[in-house]
Every structure is written in C-alpha cells, then in structure tokens.
Structure 1
C-alpha cells in the first residue's frame, strides 16, 4: 500500500478547507458550548465530513502510518501557541472512523491521548463508539489480550473519561 508522502500537505488542505467552510455564528456557538476549551472555525459537521472525504480522494492510498500521523496532526494545534480547533479534531475522528480497518492494537496509546485531551463529549463519544469499538472487534485473539491489558490500565486511571471508555470497551472484548 502506498503511503501519502506529505502529511503536512494533507493537514493543510483539511485545515484551509475547514476555515473556508466556517461561519462566525457557528464558531461562537461551539466556543460557548465548549466553554472556550477549544477554538472553532464554525464549520458544519457536514463540511467536516465532506472535507475528509475530499482529502481522502485527493491524497489516495493512505495506509496506517499516514492515517495516524494525519490524525495526530489534525488533533494538535494548527500552529505553535494557538489553541486546538474543534473542527480539526472532529476531522481527525472522521478520518479514523473512515480508516478504522488500518488501525492496530498499538494505536490504543495514541487514542488514549486523544481521549484524555478531547475536551468535548462530541469528540470522545465517537472516538469510543466509532473508532475504538470497531478497532477492538477486528483484533485477533493475541491482540485482544494486549488490548485488555491497556483497558485494565484505563479502568484504574483517575481520568473518568478513560474509566468510562474502558467499561464500554471491555464489553466489546468479551463478545
């Protein structure tokens, strides 16, 4: 499988498109709803989904490494010293939902970081239900055992978001 040579170009395409699709009134609403925890471009959910779809068409054949690097780039700050942006993080979730088949048990640590820093139920919920659940469902027996060890650690973590995710996901591992 061919990897996209320039993750930065894909992240820039998504970021620029999301900014162009934004509206101040939606940005204000998101900022108010999230208590200023994340910045917002004011892009609609449909625009976020369409932007990720267009990026996947433009930057074809994304494999595992490119997918997780792009998701991490989108999850982070758009530039040093700036606040993370809700729509960029939502685009990372949509990307991971779309490419969940390329994810591995070793990605649980990265996804843990996303859950810890989500700062919004609208991000944490889909990460669990639409990324982690199908990821775990696709693991073989050995990787399920490894994932169970990670979930046991999450269950004991003081972060309530991880505890909740662990409880939901352990049900998936036992099915």
Structure 2
C-alpha cells in the first residue's frame, strides 16, 4: 500500500475524530448493537471529510481508491473494534468513485457486506455502489458479475442473500 493512501486514511480518521460528539457516538453504538465503535461524527462531516480528502489527495486511481476503502473499513488499530464513521467514509468514497470500480471489486464489496454489522452501511453500499457498478458492465465482465450475483443469492449468509435481493430489487426499478 502506498504512502499516499496511508496518509489519506490518517487524514480522514483524524478529521472524523475531531468532528465527533459523544452523544452521537452513544446513539450510533446503541443502533449498531456494540458491533462497532463510533466517533460521533455527523453524516455531513463524513461526506465533507471524504470530499476534502479527495481534494487534498488528488489523482487516486482504482487501486488507490479500493486500498483506501479497505483501510477505512478495517480496524483502526489491532485489537480495536471497527469504527462506524470510518466505514461510512469508505462507502462515501466508493459512491464518489464508483466509475473507477470493476467487476472484480464485487469480491471486496462482498467482504464489506459480510462484515458490515449494519444495514445503515449495507443499503447505500448496494444502492449507490453495487447497482451502479452492475449497470455499466458489459460483455464478459457482466457475465462474471452475474455469476457473483447468483452466488450471492445462494449464499448461506443472510446478509449476502439480502444484499442480492436488494440489488435485484433496485436494479429492477432503474
């Protein structure tokens, strides 16, 4: 992973911590059932921070975007719980750069869905990342994506089957 991606993640993390409020953190942690920590940053602060990071760290290519999303999605430090706002920042980043994504990124997105522990993260990931990605795929890339979506529909994990159903529902309405 290159230093620019690491610096961008540190910028986002620090900014989100500075934007936090304890009462929002308590609310988020209560909603997600303790599966994640929270800094208590507002959704607007998360969106603004990702936008500011995009201005500060320019020219991110596909691999940079996916590496940054993965870094934000993971634990901030070994032994610590994932942080809701970091994961939301990863979703916002992917929403803003969905045009860079490829059919091969469905595997990464599947991992995010499996570990999300919150529909508040999965639903925008599906509606604003997976569905737009699928709609632009053609030919062999689309066929490969369809194989992944079939696998999702048959997966034993409820969250993956729900994601496949939601994807089909949203895609059918577009």
Normalization by structure 2: what TM-score? 0.94
Q: 1:5 to 1:79 in 2, by over 3 A?
A: closer
- What SS is found at the alignment partner of 1:79? coil
CA distances 1:101-143 after superposition (whole Å, capped 9, x unpaired): 0000000000000000000111000000000000001111221
**Which sits farther off after the overlay, 163-172 or 34-43?**
163-172
- What SS is found at the alignment partner of 1:77? coil
Give the whole-Å Cα distance in 2 for the aligned partners of 1:166 and 1:144.
Answer: 15
1:81 to 79, 82, 101: 79
Corresponding residue of 2:151 = 153
Show structure 1 runs of 5+ residues with no match. Answer: none
Answer whether contact 1:148 1:170 (CA < 8 A) is retained. no
Quote the offset at 1:5 in angstroms. 5.0
* Number of residue-to-residue matches in the alignment: 172
Q: How does 1:4-153 map to 2 (within 5 A)?
A: 6-153=4-151
- What SS is found at the alignment partner of 2:147? helix
Answer whether contact 1:74 1:89 (CA < 8 A) is retained. yes
Give the whole-Å Cα distance in 1 for the aligned partners of 2:40 and 2:167.
Answer: 32
Normalization by structure 1: what TM-score? 0.94
Give the whole-Å Cα distance in 2 for the aligned partners of 1:40 and 1:117.
Answer: 16
Quote the offset at 1:82 in angstroms. 0.6
Quote the offset at 1:159 in angstroms. 1.0
| CA RMSD, Structure 1 to Structure 2 (Å) | 1.6
Quote the offset at 1:16 in angstroms. 0.1
